[in-house]
Amino acid sequence: MSVYKPFTTSDIIVSPFKVNKSFTFQGAAALTGSGIDRFIGKNIQSTLWISGSNPTGQISSQDKFLVYRSIRELYYSNFLENKNGSPVGTASFNTDGTITGPSYTPNYYNYLPNTLNANRFFPTGSNDEVGVISIPSNIFGENIKPGTLVYETEGISYTDDGEGGLISASLKVGDIIYEHGITTLTSASNNINSFTTSSNITCSFESTITLYESQYKCTIRENEFNFPQNPTIISSSSNSGIMFDFATGSYFTPYVTTVGLYNNNKELLAVGKLAQPLPLSTTTDTNIIINLDL
């Protein structure tokens, strides 16, 4: 029979799974060398604002006011109802038919890490500042793994609570946007300058990426592949097709050592090597499972 056998749809299973990789950076040079940048955002109050007049960032220069407004718009626009921070403003539908509350639904999408009732604080006073750490996507992958980020500078430790909160001394002082690789320090009680400019730093976290494992089930029926493909089974060097006597007996069965995966054009795409030769059964089916991680 042919050496090729097509798969059926039930023979192929594609399963996604997430993998993580740990990163640790020590010192400002290691941070910037990996592409991790740090910024200060500032709520500058001025009637005449000149672009580029308040630079911030160790790798790419940005304007402090633009950083402040970008962070506010992207991650805190639903949480600005009072100076101490607040949950997202929503309305309550009362039993008497009345509606109380500022809005029916949240007005903006602020990239929350879960469905818990979030409470985010963002300083809105004149000249208030926020600290921002930006990790590039080629390092964190799809997202930072929740609960893995640790940032230490000038004797102060900041940790990830696993729910999107940045914790220091048991207090929430900022937020982590896992899917954007953004960490913000919004508490006025912390030193924004040391958070964003200090050289004495250690930063560690785990990245996340999804791999897809393709599983191929190669089924060999008891009456299939019963003729060996190895040319050394031929007894003559003249390619007469005559096999050695031991291979012509009724009890002889071929051994499988290699499985090849081909496309529809019979082009070899992958080769699977067995750890040891596998004898084919003449009474039952033989299944060989091939796993490919892509």
For the stretch 137-163, pLDDT in tens is 999 999 999 999 999 998 899 999 999
Residue-number span of the structural domain to which 233 is assigned: 221-293
- Does 192 fall in a domain? yes
The answer to whether 260 and 266 have CB atoms below 8 angstroms apart is: no
DSSP the chain: --S--PPPGGGEEEEEEEEEEEEEEESHHHHHHTT-EEEEEE----SS--TTSSEE-SSS-EEHHHHHHHHHHHHSTTS-SSTT-BPPP--EE-TTS-EESS-SS-SS----SSSS---B----STT-EEEEEE--HHHHBTEEPTT--EEEETTEEEEE-SSSEEEETTEEEEEEEGGGTEEEE--TTS-HHHHHH-SSEEEEEEEEEEEEEEEEEEEE-TTSS-S---GGGBS-TT---PBPGGGSSTT---EEEEEEEE-TT--EEEEEEEEEEEEPPSSS-EEEEEEEE-
Same domain, 161 and 242: no
Question: What type of residue is 24?
Answer: T
Considering the domain architecture, whether residues 108 and 157 belong to the same structural domain is answered as yes
Residue 83 belongs to a domain: yes
Closest by CA to 112, choosing from 41, 187, 179, is 179
One-letter identity of residue 205:
F
Number of domains in the chain: 2
Instruction: Give yes or no: residues 47 and 187 share one domain.
Output: yes
The residues, ordered by sequence, that sit 6+ positions from 34 with a Cβ below 8 Å of its Cβ are 23, 25, 136, 139
Q: What is the predicted pLDDT for the residue at 287?
A: 93
How far is the CA of 176 from the CAs of 7, 34, 157, in angstroms? 46, 19, 15
Is there a single domain that holds both residue 178 and residue 241? no
Confidence (pLDDT) at 234: 67
Residue linked to tokens 């054009």? 265
53, amino acid identity: S
pLDDT of residue 246: 63
3-state secondary structure 90-127: CCEECCCCCEECCCCCCCCCCCCCCCCCCCECCCCCCC
Task: Please answer whether residues 216 and 288 qualify as being in contact, where contact means their C-beta atoms are separated by less than 8 angstroms.
Answer: no
Same domain, 193 and 249: no
pLDDT given for residue 115 in this prediction: 79
Kindly give the parts of the chain with pLDDT less than 70.
1-2, 47-52, 81-93, 98-107, 188-190, 228-232, 234-241, 243-251
Give the pLDDT score at 1: 47
- CB distance 37 to 134 below 8 Å: yes
80 & 125 share domain: yes
Instruction: Provide the token pair at 157.
Output: 């430790």
pLDDT at 23: 97
Residue 179: how many CA atoms within 13 Å on its side-chain side?
7
Tell me the pLDDT tens digit for each residue of 22-60.
999 999 999 999 999 999 999 987 755 666 688 999 999
Do 85 and 172 reside in the same domain of the chain? Answer: yes
Pair (157, 225) in one structural domain? no
User: Do 228 and 181 belong together in one domain?
Assistant: no
75 and 137 assigned to the same domain:
yes
Same domain, yes or no: 75 and 189: yes
Q: CB 253: neighbour CB atoms within 10 A?
A: 15
pLDDT for the residue 187: 85
Question: In terms of residues, how long is the chain?
Answer: 294
